Structure 1
Amino acid sequence: MDGKTPYEVPTEMREFAEKSVDQARKAFDGFIGAAHKAVDSAHGSAESARVSAQDATRKAIGYAEANVAAAFDLAQKLVRSRDVNEVLQHQSEFLKSQMASFQTQLKELGSAVQEAAAKTAETAAKATKTK
């Protein structure tokens, strides 16, 4: 050793550095917290959209099944028809019935789409408020 006193960091500088590190840590923790909220809200919106799409798909499949069943019923009636008048009567009844079914199905699907959009918007709005 050459007898020189070692360099000491002044107390004020250490305190300033400590405060800076604490502030940086708090800022980082805030950033991470916001990132977690964003991920959670995105997941919530995606999950809501997925469930709504799944429900709409199930409805559409149910409608398709009902429509095909009605077509098979018509086919069975047509095969059993005794004359042209009976064929025309069955076709007429089928068309009236299917038009009513299609109207109901379209209304229900429209309502389902509106409900899904409202849920998605609500989830997105909640996510935005919590940020």
Structure 2
Amino acid sequence: MSDDVRDRFEIPKEMRSMAEASLEQACKAFEKFVTAAQTTADTIEERNATVRAGAKDISGKAIAYAEKNVQASLDHAQSLLKTKDVTEVVRLHGEYVQGLMRSLTEQAGEMGQIVGKAAIDATKPKA
């Protein structure tokens, strides 16, 4: 590839649109996940001191997940800035989306376990 072509490298509109749509979809899924977790945490917090501890765990985990996902997005953006050709952009984007989906799936599973434990703890009779 000549230096002129490399200097004029731009991401095609279709690829940029696909990347933006994928990112938007992932963001919406994560927002729904966080909203559901927060709603659950808010509901549980109304129960009692035992439940407050569970809600604190849920909130803390949701914040940690958000931080992790935002950092992954920033890292991805940084890696795109270093690309040299369209093939590399496509590869990096595919890896990012796959990693994000794996991460969101894992996070949802972990959050489900935390919420489930908090719910069980909330329904235990006080000793």
Shorter-normalised TM-score: what interval?
Answer: 0.5 to 0.7
Of the candidates 62, 79, 82, which is equivalent to residue 80 of structure 1? 82
Of the candidates 110, 113, 116, which is equivalent to residue 112 of structure 2? 110
Which residue number corresponds to residue 73 of structure 2?
71
- Superposed counterparts of 1:1-131, under 5 Å: 46-122=48-124, 125-126=125-126
RMSD over aligned CA atoms reads 1.1
The gaps in structure 2 that reach 5 residues or longer are 1-46
TM-score (norm 1): 0.59
- Rounded to whole Å, the distance in 1 between the matches of 2:109 and 2:71 is 20
* Deviant stretches of 4+, over 2 Å: none
The one-letter amino acid paired with 1:99 is M
The one-letter amino acid paired with 1:61 is I
Once the two structures are TM-superposed, the CA of residue 116 in structure 1 deviates from its matched residue by 0.2
Helix, strand or coil for the counterpart of 2:84? coil
Report how many aligned residue pairs link the two structures: 81
Once the two structures are TM-superposed, the CA of residue 112 in structure 1 deviates from its matched residue by 0.5
- Rounded to whole Å, the distance in 2 between the matches of 1:76 and 1:87 is 12
TM-score (norm 2): 0.61
The gaps in structure 1 that reach 5 residues or longer are 1-44
Once the two structures are TM-superposed, the CA of residue 126 in structure 1 deviates from its matched residue by 3.3
Helix, strand or coil for the counterpart of 1:81? coil
The one-letter amino acid paired with 1:49 is V
The one-letter amino acid paired with 2:103 is S
| Structure number with higher relative contact order (C-alpha < 8 Å, ≥ 6 residues apart) | 1
Identity of aligned residues (%): 38
